[in-house]
Chain A
Amino acid sequence: QEVTLKFHQFLPQQAPIPSLVLDVWAKKVEAESGGRIKIEQYPAMQLGGKPTDLMDQVVDGIADIVWTLPGYTPGRFPQSEVFELPFVAGDAEATSRAYWELAEKYMIDGEFKDIKVLGLWTHGPGLIHSKTPITSVADLAGVKLRAPTRVTNMMATSLGATAVGMPVPAVPEALSKGVIDATIIPWEVTGSIRLSELLGNHTEFPGAPLYTAAFVMAMNKDVYAGLPDDLKAIIDANSGLEFSAMAGRVSQEADGPARQLAVDAGNTIVELTPEQIEEWKVAAQPTIDTWLTEITEKGIDGAALLEEARAAIAKHSATN
């Protein structure tokens, strides 16, 4: 083959996104190139460093392609955070389409200027998993809630919970030992850590997901630029809007089987009504206000960005 690309990411190869999105992408690119591109996959940080180093690794060419979260490097991708704000996301495919669209307009040459972005997506509707049932905001008072990103930690605090930041693999132990009482996490991730065996309550926000997290798959800019034009075309054909939409859709589809595990375990799944959700929206508003203030200080019109993100998600949700 002509080109070998090292693809580095932080999850084990058999996890849903690596097996159903990343591996599928890699195999497809390899096949379409007639074997001229070889993609060596390095799951679970095999090339060294911490997950938070992945972004620098692809910028510096330590890896040729990475899959990571913009949120792992807080402060570097402020515009991507708009999709992580409370009650902004819709279902994952619509949100992922909106993310790509806005990114093309504002971020690809902006906050993503140091990398060749291949895909941008979000996970399925975010929800709360807890030991005690949670229906109202008041139920969350003083609850030690684990949250994954900067924005979600702010949100946990806005909602009156005690925010505890920790990586996903630490969650089961922390739960069983009472270090945390609840966690937000998409359904898809709960299967591999057997979350439904550790707690009995799940609070869903139908039609208005509480939150989501943004993902980015990116390539080193120089490596991309150094490809012959026909290989560039193969990468391009497999990247962008449709790939992002597919990745979002597959992420959300992986929610179903994991949710079924909770149902089978006899857990309580609270589906909040639109009226009940209103109270949550009000309580989470300070997170949005804080974000708007911060991003304005960076010289970005956050209000307009938020408006546009909401409009784009609504548009794609309608056409799905």
Chain B
Amino acid sequence: MHSAFYQLARFMAALGGLILTALMLMTSLSVLLRALGFGPVPGDFELVEAGIAFAIFAFLPWCQMNAGHATVDLFVPLFPRVVNRWILAFWEVVFAAVLVLIAARLYEGMLGKMNNGETTFLLQFPVWWSYAASVCGAVVAAVVSVYVALRRVMGALGGQDTLPAGGGAGH
């Protein structure tokens, strides 16, 4: 059960990494073509925008799975373990609720873009395509965060940590 969600989050992160790498290659190619006087890859900016949005949504589940978000742990040592477990579980539940809301609203946004026929400037592909890709990432993020929240609540109830407690600001 855990392994399925873990692998799902890992798969999405790796997929996002592949897309990021593809954008890196495309952008570098665009720089090269421009330097050689051929002009950039058509619509390179648009492709970066669509691709990077998907990549970031695809990165979210892995961050949820590993509790990778930045927190201030100033008062952690002051509270007993059980309180800290409940605090952790509480915020994971809130996070899950917010991510579910984001995914649902993004889906609504995608439907809107489908109905109004909006396209990009240069390549003129429908904007809802990019939204649809991002919705996939957002839905996985929502699903994984709900799973993580449930695990944290169970952990608090059962009195033990079953997932990494994480926390860290990586920049």
What is the interface of chain A, defined by CB distance below 8 A to chain B? 56, 73-76, 142, 144, 149-150, 153, 162-166, 179
Contact = CB atoms under 8 A, between A and B. Distances in A.
Given A76-B117, A144-B39, A163-B122, 7 more contacts: A74-B124, A75-B126, A150-B124, A153-B121, A153-B122, A165-B122, A166-B45
Residue with the highest number of chain A CB atoms closer than 10 Å, among B34, B40, B118, B126: B118
Interface residues of B, number: 17
Contact of B120 (A74, A142, A164, A166): A74
B116 interface: yes
A56 B34 contact: no
Contact of A150 (B37, B40, B45, B121): B121
A22 B154 CA distance: 56
A101 B34 CA distance: 44
A56 B45 CA distance: 22
Interface in B112-138: 112, 116-122, 124, 126
3 nearest A-B residue pairs (beta carbon): A162-B39, A75-B119, A75-B117
30 contacts: A56-B112, A73-B116, A73-B118, A74-B118, A74-B120, A74-B124, A75-B116, A75-B118, A75-B119, A75-B124, A75-B126, A76-B116, A76-B117, A142-B39, A144-B39, A149-B121, A150-B119, A150-B121, A150-B124, A153-B121, A153-B122, A163-B122, A164-B39, A164-B40, A165-B43, A165-B45, A165-B46, A165-B121, A165-B122, A166-B45
Nearest to B115: A76
Contacts of B122: 153, 163, 165
A74 B40 contact: no
Contacts of A75: 116-119, 124, 126
Contacts of A149: 121
Contacts of A73: 116, 118
Interface in B18-35: 34
Contacts of A164: 39-40
Nearest to A50: B49
B112 to A, nearest CB: 7
A299 to B, nearest CB: 13
Interface string B29-58: 000001001011001011000000000000
A182 B123 CA distance: 21
B171 to A, nearest CB: 23
B121 A74 contact: yes
Interface in B44-86: 45-46
Contacts of A144: 34, 39
Contacts of B119: 74-75, 150
A56 B34 CA distance: 35
A179 B30 CA distance: 11
B129 to A, nearest CB: 12
Nearest to A167: B45
Residue with the highest number of chain A CB atoms closer than 10 Å, among B46, B116, B118, B121: B121
Residue with the highest number of chain B CB atoms closer than 10 Å, among A56, A162, A165: A165
Contacts of B120: 74
A165 B48 CA distance: 13
Contacts of B121: 74, 149-150, 153, 165
Nearest to B119: A75
Contacts of B112: 56
A247 to B, nearest CB: 24
Contacts of B124: 74-75, 150
Contacts of A153: 121-122
B11 to A, nearest CB: 30
A66 to B, nearest CB: 16
B53 to A, nearest CB: 12
Nearest to B42: A163
A76 B118 contact: yes
B82 to A, nearest CB: 40
A179 B34 contact: yes
Residue with the highest number of chain A CB atoms closer than 10 Å, among B37, B39, B124: B39
Nearest to B37: A142
A101 B155 CA distance: 67
B28 to A, nearest CB: 15
Contacts of B40: 164
A76 B124 CA distance: 12
Nearest to A78: B117
